[in-house]
């Protein structure tokens, strides 16, 4: 049953291999803990009390509410599929109360400091590798795309005014390009053609060995650049995604526009940035009001 469900996630739900592996890990964890397999017979016998006991066990093992909720969501999706396939009649997860998660304010970089740094580093060496590294940080900040989306950008995905990216669920979306990032991409592609006369790769960003870049490669570039700029705390590609959304919202963009650009499936995922904006507003209010 488990293999059937994972195949469904991959083929019909179009989940990425990484997502499918995460579901598999969470579901196997549940059945391993029960010391049973995911056969139709065993699935039909699972009661809400067993899931509740498993949830309490995870709490006792100091798993975070976010992790537990993710595991419960994986289990919930699995049982929904079993109902669809008429293996079971009801979903035992429906009677489980999910642990309450703390609201997390996204980590983002200071707008003025980041832009000053990008202005200073604008004049990079005139070679593919230096331009590649600068284009990566410029593009992540200019578009808010995910690291995986950046890695998979192909030359044909770039047009005069838009870039096409493939997000979660293999959904494609078009993101407008600023004049600044258009210049960087043009420089990068020109240097790429100059460097590699006979090139079979269709990807824009290549390693020093002319292979497709990978997640840790991007992470190292961003971490090193932000550390050089003097930023403390978390330094990652996803911080630049949070920074993009926060700065856009603080400068007047509406939530729906940001949701579309980020590729969120629901507005609820985008609303985390309103908390950041409120914190920013509170700071300004405390700083400028005459009756402090």
Q: Where are the domains of the chain?
A: 2-95, 111-288
| pLDDT tens by residue, 7-46 | 999 888 888 888 899 999 999 999 888 887 777 778 888 9
- Lowest-pLDDT range, 8-22, 162-176, 185-199, 248-262? 185-199
pLDDT at residue 193 above 60? Answer: yes
Catalytic residue among 132, 191, 235, 241: 241
Catalytic residue among 168, 182, 187, 275: 168
What's 2-95's CATH class? mainly alpha
Fold of the domain built from segment(s) 111-288: hpI Integrase; Chain A (1.10.443)
Question: With bands split at pLDDT 50, 70 and 90, how would you rate the model's confidence at 103?
Answer: confident
pLDDT score for 288: 67
Measured CA to CA, the distance from residue 29 to residue 75 in angstroms comes to 10
pLDDT score for 277: 67
| Verdict on whether the full-model pTM lies above 0.75 | no
Question: Catalytic site residue 264?
Answer: yes
Check if the beta carbon of residue 241 is closer than 8 Å to that of residue 144.
Answer: yes
Question: Catalytic site residue 66?
Answer: no
Question: Catalytic site residue 63?
Answer: no
Tokens for 194, please give them.
């100059």
Measured CA to CA, the distance from residue 196 to residue 189 in angstroms comes to 10
Check if the beta carbon of residue 21 is closer than 8 Å to that of residue 58.
Answer: no
Question: Catalytic site residue 146?
Answer: yes
Catalytic residue among 71, 132, 146, 225: 146
pLDDT score for 282: 67
Over range 199-224, report the average pLDDT. 91
Catalytic residue among 13, 70, 238, 275: 238
Question: Catalytic site residue 285?
Answer: no
pLDDT at residue 279 above 70? Answer: no
Check if the beta carbon of residue 70 is closer than 8 Å to that of residue 76.
Answer: no
């Amino acid at each position: 049953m488990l293999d059937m469900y994972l195949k469904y996630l991959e083929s019909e739900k179009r989940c990425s291999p990484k997502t499918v592996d995460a579901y598999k890990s969470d579901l196997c964890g549940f059945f391993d803990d029960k010391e049973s397999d995911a056969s139709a017979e065993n699935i039909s016998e699972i009661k809400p009390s067993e899931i509740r006991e498993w949830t309490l066990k995870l709490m006792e093992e100091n798993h975070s509410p976010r992790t537990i909720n993710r595991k419960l969501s994986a289990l919930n999706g699995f049982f929904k599929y079993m109902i669809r396939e008429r293996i079971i009649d009801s979903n035992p997860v429906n009677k489980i109360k999910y642990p309450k998660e703390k609201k997390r304010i996204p980590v983002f970089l200071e707008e003025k400091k980041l832009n000053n740094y990008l202005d200073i580093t604008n004049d990079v060496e005139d070679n593919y590798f230096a331009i590649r590294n600068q284009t990566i940080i410029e593009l992540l900040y200019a578009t808010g795309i995910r690291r995986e989306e950046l890695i998979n950008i192909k030359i044909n995905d770039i047009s005069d005014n838009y870039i096409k990216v493939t997000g979660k669920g293999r959904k494609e979306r078009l993101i407008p390009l600023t004049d600044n990032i258009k210049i960087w991409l043009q420089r990068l592609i020109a240097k790429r053609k100059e460097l590699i006369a006979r090139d079979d790769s269709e990807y824009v960003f290549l390693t020093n060995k002319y292979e497709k870049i990978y997640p840790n490669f991007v992470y190292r570039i961003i971490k090193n650049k932000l550390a050089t700029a003097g930023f403390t705390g978390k330094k990652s590609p996803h911080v630049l995604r949070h920074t993009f959304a926060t700065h856009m919202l603080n400068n007047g963009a509406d939530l729906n526009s940001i949701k579309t650009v980020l590729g969120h499936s629901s507005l609820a995922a985008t609303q985390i940035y309103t908390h950041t904006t409120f914190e920013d507003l509170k700071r300004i209010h405390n700083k400028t009001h005459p009756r402090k």
